[in-house]
Structure 1
Amino acid sequence: MTLLRTLRPALPILIGASLMLSLSMGLRQSLGIFLQPLTHDVGISVSDFTLAIAVQNLAWGFLQPFAGALTVRYGFRPIMMVGALLYIAGLVMMAGAQGLLGVMLGAGVLIGMSLACTAAAIAMSVAARAVPAGVRSTVLGIVSAAGSLGALLSAPIGQVLNQDFGWRTGLAGFVVLSVALLPAAWFAGRVDRVPLPPRAPDQIADTSAAVAAKIAFGNASFVVMTCAYFVCGMQLVFITTHLPSYLAICGMDPMLSAQTLGVIGGFNVLGSLFFGWAGQRWNKLALLGGIYVFRSLALAWYFMLPPTPETTLLFGAMMGFLWLGVGPLVAGAVAELFGLQWQAMIQGLAFISHQLGSFIGAYGGGLIYDALGSYDLAWRIGVSLGLAAGIIQVAFALIKPSAPPMLKTA
């Protein structure tokens, strides 16, 4: 009740940010459902489709810092509204695609541009500004948890429409869902009326975007976190893009992939809440490293066994718990280290690394499958790099700990 009373003035902003994040991430995570029917219908290869997803991730990653910097100049609302319109346009173009160009422009370029304006970095920055410092990490976990609910809705809807009426109808259903991004972005944009809190002495003061970026990359904790973030993107996008295809190859029920993506979304709620709560109490960077290690162990366990419905759903539950828990930890760490004014941009700079990993996870996985007819090499690479990144992140966090929670927070 005390937390609810504290958050009551910010509830419209937080609900808008949560719904925006839920739709933008849930729809994106469910696009792999259409990989097999779309590629067969329009005559493109698996690697062509995954190249479009890889372009999406690169566009999202490289445009994220610019979107974050523009929020400082123009405010959050106009940036998020433009992002919502781009998402709708991207899904419409993808639904009407007749070949690689339509898929590349719709699923790749337009949705990638939209995600830079509507997904985690912007939504988390909105939530961080809207609430007091004492509850910030917990609230970031709640927003991240709410943001994971989109997959619970979009994956089953998309799969049912895809099976019964075809992939174009499934994507048309996604277009209808994406329209809700517009009111969500409008309400989240109320955060522009919330003044920035006073900065701590060691946080970034009023300056240019270039100087803020230079300060961020001069911080060793930020650099290590950014490098490890590469593996996060690689593992997650490999799963969302290739798991439906892997299950189809293994002869599993097509609905199992949608059910697994839904389970990931459901357990993501629990994981996001837990890591938001944990980040308020323990070293955020060490927690991040732990996520990468346990994700890698889960990947190794699942792909070493013949898939069954039971092991696939259990794998989805384990990965879901470790999925977007990185969101409140990364956002909270950036806010602690650098303050709130440039948070969206600095978080976006780290996110470039994440999206380079996403490019490798999507396109690299497709290339390996096309070349070898198997995903074995792809998952082994993902496990090896994940274990290395997680161990290095934990070791560095313990050797050079960041500030205790809330000590540096604006």
Structure 2
Amino acid sequence: MSSSSSTPIPAGSGRAAIPAILIVIAGCAVALITFGPRSVFGLFLLPMSQEFGWGRDVFGFSVAIQNLLWGVGSPFAGAVADRFGTVRVMCVGALVYAAGLVLMAYATTPGLLHLSAGVLVGFGLSAASFNLVLAAFGKILPNEWKSIGFGAATAAGSFGQFLFPPLTRGLMDSIGWHETLIVFGVSMLLVMPFSLALATRGAAQRQTTGPAHAPQQGIGAAIGEALRHPSYVLLVLGFFTCGFQLAFITVHMPAFLVDNGMSLTVGAYTLALIGLFNIFGSLTAGYLTNRMSRKWLLAWIYAGRGVAIALFVLTPITQLSCYMFGAAMGFLWLSTVPPTSSLVMLMFGTRYMAMLYGFAFFSHQVGGFLGVWLGGKLYVATGSYNWVWWLSVALSFASAAINLPIKERPVERAPLPA
């Protein structure tokens, strides 16, 4: 593989070829920049709610909208990227994401919060986050780099989650939460130059990785084929749990710890530990994706999450238990992404990978919507997060079982007429 690091990879017609290692670095930079700010939204829940007199359900609903629209927009952003290339989609997404963060700094009403943190950030993420990075990697990286690229991009997003919680706390303490959001909005513009290395030309650039005759298939046929494929449906359903747990913990974990006598700083460091250990978990999952059954890897990841959450809820909440949970959950946090994206590519090839992974990600984000929204609603109704914690445990083992019947092979297609 060392020789491949300098092998030119065609990134588009009329451009100089870009080495694989530079493509991976650029994609990792995009993943880090876009995932970092949205991973610390939970740190803004208490200061915004206290300043404007909102219940936790108001902030929770805004982030729930964000998760849902991130999922709704992903298949469409993926389809546009598949057709017209990645760069334009990412640049528009970065501008929308930046506008959402800046407007959130001035959101003094629930409606403005829903528009900024919910609608704009959600749609911005759908067009400028690691789902498009993974699809671009699938198209333009050589085969021996694909799984490593998937793991590296996921790990880079995790490093953003490790870097941004302490950075956010420091900025909030020094310049205030309003100004912190503005800084994050401006930083989102860095996505635009990095996206140039991920250029794909959509319809003009085809790879034949995957089932035969993929290049002749239309978008409608690709969607219909995927939705009729039982293994793809099971994969999509299992991914729901990942989104439910990630969104709930990201947004409500800091407040949950404050309720249990911890400081908001402990919440920030717990989120940072999740991001730190997710780097190792994501890289490990990327390494194992081509070396063991992907469905069994997913089953073990989901079951491990169920065990980690149950132990955390059943033991007394201390600073040590928070950090141990952050480390354990972090190792399993986004480790589902490399085997999930790899299975999509294995089943259907790379031509419509951005769109088909986008549909799987939509399921993930529907889970995220419910995780954040139920967290806020049930807390207001019961004064506790216990119901959502135990629902997360049940979903973990359900997803572990759902992934086991998946068949790990390309979809069978009849030859298309010449």
TM range (shorter): over 0.9
Identify the residue that residue 185 of structure 2 maps to in structure 1: 175
CA distance in 2, matches of 1:159, 1:328: 30
CA offset at residue 181 of structure 1?
Answer: 1.9
CA distance in 2, matches of 1:288, 1:92: 37
Identify the residue that residue 408 of structure 2 maps to in structure 1: 402
CA offset at residue 211 of structure 1?
Answer: 1.2
Identify the residue that residue 152 of structure 1 maps to in structure 2: 162
1:262 and 2:272 correspond: yes
Structure 1 segment 17-56 matched on structure 2, within 5 A = 17-56=27-66
TM-score by length of 2: 0.91
Report the CA distance shift for 1:311/1:203 in structure 2 as closer, same or farther (over 3 A): farther
CA offset at residue 285 of structure 1?
Answer: 2.0
CA offset at residue 375 of structure 1?
Answer: 0.7
1:57 and 2:63 correspond: no
Moved more, 79-88 or 283-292: 283-292
Q: Contact conserved, 1:121 with 1:331, CA < 8 A, in 2? A: no
1:341 and 2:351 correspond: yes
1:75 and 2:85 correspond: yes
Identify the residue that residue 229 of structure 2 maps to in structure 1: 219
CA distance in 2, matches of 1:192, 1:5: 24
Which amino acid in structure 2 is aligned with residue 78 of structure 1?
R
Identify the residue that residue 358 of structure 1 maps to in structure 2: 368
Identify the residue that residue 13 of structure 2 maps to in structure 1: none
Report the CA distance shift for 1:4/1:10 in structure 2 as closer, same or farther (over 3 A): closer
CA offset at residue 130 of structure 1?
Answer: 2.1
Q: Contact conserved, 1:138 with 1:280, CA < 8 A, in 2? A: no
Report the CA distance shift for 1:92/1:218 in structure 2 as closer, same or farther (over 3 A): same
Mark the runs of 5 or more structure 1 residues left unpaired by the alignment. Answer: 405-410
CA distance in 1, matches of 2:46, 2:210: 52
Find 1:321's aligned residue among 310, 324, 331: 331
RMSD of aligned C-alpha atoms?
A: 1.9
CA distance in 1, matches of 2:274, 2:213: 36
Which amino acid in structure 2 is aligned with residue 221 of structure 1?
S
Report the number of matched residues.
400
CA distance in 2, matches of 1:194, 1:214: 23
SS in 2 for 1:98: coil
CA offset at residue 139 of structure 1?
Answer: 2.1
CA offset at residue 129 of structure 1?
Answer: 1.6
1:391 and 2:397 correspond: no
CA offset at residue 108 of structure 1?
Answer: 0.3
1:304 and 2:305 correspond: no
Identify the residue that residue 237 of structure 1 maps to in structure 2: 247
CA distance in 2, matches of 1:76, 1:66: 12
SS in 1 for 2:199: helix
Q: Contact conserved, 1:80 with 1:189, CA < 8 A, in 2? A: no
1:15 and 2:15 correspond: no
1:163 and 2:179 correspond: no
Instruction: Report Cα offsets for 1:378-407 as digits up to 9, x if no partner.
Output: 10111012112212313x14xxx3139xxx
Which amino acid in structure 2 is aligned with residue 20 of structure 1?
V
Q: Contact conserved, 1:203 with 1:337, CA < 8 A, in 2? A: no
Q: Contact conserved, 1:130 with 1:194, CA < 8 A, in 2? A: no
Mark the runs of 5 or more structure 2 residues left unpaired by the alignment. Answer: 9-17, 411-418
CA offset at residue 29 of structure 1?
Answer: 0.9
Which amino acid in structure 2 is aligned with residue 304 of structure 1?
L
Report the CA distance shift for 1:203/1:242 in structure 2 as closer, same or farther (over 3 A): farther
CA distance in 1, matches of 2:153, 2:3: 18
CA offset at residue 156 of structure 1?
Answer: 1.1
CA distance in 1, matches of 2:113, 2:202: 35
CA offset at residue 96 of structure 1?
Answer: 1.1
Identify the residue that residue 4 of structure 1 maps to in structure 2: 5
Report the CA distance shift for 1:352/1:114 in structure 2 as closer, same or farther (over 3 A): same
CA offset at residue 200 of structure 1?
Answer: 4.5
Find 2:292's aligned residue among 282, 286, 296: 282
Which amino acid in structure 2 is aligned with residue 294 of structure 1?
G
SS in 1 for 2:214: coil
CA distance in 1, matches of 2:204, 2:39: 32
Q: Contact conserved, 2:75 with 2:358, CA < 8 A, in 1? A: yes
Q: Contact conserved, 1:43 with 1:99, CA < 8 A, in 2? A: no
CA distance in 2, matches of 1:259, 1:403: 41
CA distance in 2, matches of 1:290, 1:237: 20
CA distance in 2, matches of 1:160, 1:192: 42
Instruction: Report Cα offsets for 1:164-200 as digits up to 9, x if no partner.
Output: 4332122223223323222222332367699432345
Q: Contact conserved, 1:129 with 1:191, CA < 8 A, in 2? A: no
Which amino acid in structure 2 is aligned with residue 33 of structure 1?
L
